[in-house]
Amino acid sequence: MKKVLGVVLLCLNFGIFACRGEQDLSIRLASISNDTQVSSQWAINRIGLPYAWDEQTGSNEVSVAIIDSGIDYTHLDLAGNIDIDECYNFYDGTQGSTTIMDQAGHGTHVAGIIGAVGNNGIGVTGTCWDVNLISYKVMQDSESVLNSGIPSAINRARDNSIPIVNISIEFSALPTGMLEAIESYSGLVVLAAGNYNNNRDANAIYQSLSALDNVIIVGALGRDNLKTSWSSYGQQTVDLFAPGEDIYSTYPLSVDVDGQSYSYRNISGTSMAAPFVTGVAALVLSQHPTWTTAQIKDKILSSVEPNSSLSSYCVTGGVLNAYKAVHSCHDYTYSYQWINTTRHKAFCRCGESTMKPHVVHGGGNICLECGGEVSKGLVQWSLKRSLESNSMEEYVIILNNQEYLSYLERNNNQKEEY
């Protein structure tokens, strides 16, 4: 009997996840936003966001406070996710829209990573497509920080029951009252580890911050899947790594950059890595609105993708994995391969060991990774799951160049169209 399971699109970022229901096999595809410049956002695929978005894209019921240089509240890719009335400028004690206009660009870039409006057909997408962004302005430019504003901003987040705070600021001295403010705040505080390749294990400031139960400290991962040369680190103080190199995000047109104006631009830094973790925390809270800060933090840190090159640089030895953090059902193993060709070992987007196909340009047959010749024709995707009876069933999807059909392969090797 033929059943329609859905349309499968074969592309370089194609992926399938399957969970077995009571009687049915369900095929789960990655969700891709329609934002026009999403191809410039390499970090999206690196941390498995398309697969996380298949389950959760965020909620405007979840608020995130960004303690930074303000936000360009007029930016078309941000305006829909900004809670103007709750924004606050700690320089002059004013509240509302005009008071938090970003004159440095830093806060707007951070805000876009967390929550640029997703799937709106323009620009980029945030880690959360929907979220309630609140700007707490403590910076006039990228070099000037109002230290007293940071603990005041944390206290304001506490008083307004904001569950997540992002602070992409590097500390050479700890602002008076900051530790006490974090201790009195029940939400999650995500901090950038800082740049300049410093060992935070030898720094009393970051030792104190990392000791707090509701703090996550984030280092920067490069495009090469290694710690960037400039990211600070700490085997006991930095919790995990997230993409921080050449991160493409929103930017204020009003801010001059070497005589040029940009609505979007690439910036590198641990300031860019931290908001990916903040955004994933907001996704997790959207998925589990009753979870505590401890549960959210534990889920993020326990679901990292292991990376042996980071084992001496952070507590978890891994990289942020959005899909694993958001996903609740994790009872299967996943592998895939090209038929009659050499297979490449890799990791599934959910972090499990897997095999990945040769990568070829459309119409070509030379693998971009190994240089070998790849057979054209059918592709076999195999998903295996242990059942309660400890038996194994194998679900095979055959993809022809022209036609995409799903099959359930029976033990007698007969293939039934399904």
Catalytic residue positions, numbered: 68, 106, 271
End-to-end CA distance of the chain: 6
Cα separation, 402 vs 387, whole angstroms: 33
Separation CA 30–CA 326 (nearest Å):
14
CA dihedral angle for residue 112, residue 116, residue 119, residue 122, rounded to 10 degrees: -70
CA-to-CA separations, 246 to 14, 264, 280, 288, in angstroms, rounded: 23, 12, 19, 31
Q: Pick from 6, 35, 42, 52: which is nearest to 244 by CA?
A: 42
Round to whole Å and give the CA distance between 114 and 242. Answer: 13
Rounded Cα gap, residues 129 and 307, in angstroms: 28
Rounded distance between C-alpha atoms, residue 385 and residue 369, angstroms: 29
What Rg, from alpha-carbon coordinates, does the chain have? 23
Report the distance separating Cα 243 and Cα 30, nearest Å: 20
Q: Judging by beta carbons within 10 Å of its beta carbon (0-12, 13-18, 19+), is residue 362 exposed, middle or buried?
A: exposed
Angle between helices 106-115 and 270-287 (to 10 degrees): 30
What is the enclosing helix (H) or strand (E) of 70?
none
C-alpha dihedral sign at 47, 51, 52, 56: positive
* Phi, psi angle pair for 355, to nearest 5°: -115, 140
Nearest to 20 by CA among 348, 417, 408, 353: 408
> CB atoms < 10 A from the CB of 409, how many?
18
Both tokens of 163, joined, read 């569950």
Q: Which two tokens stand for residue 414?
A: 């007969």
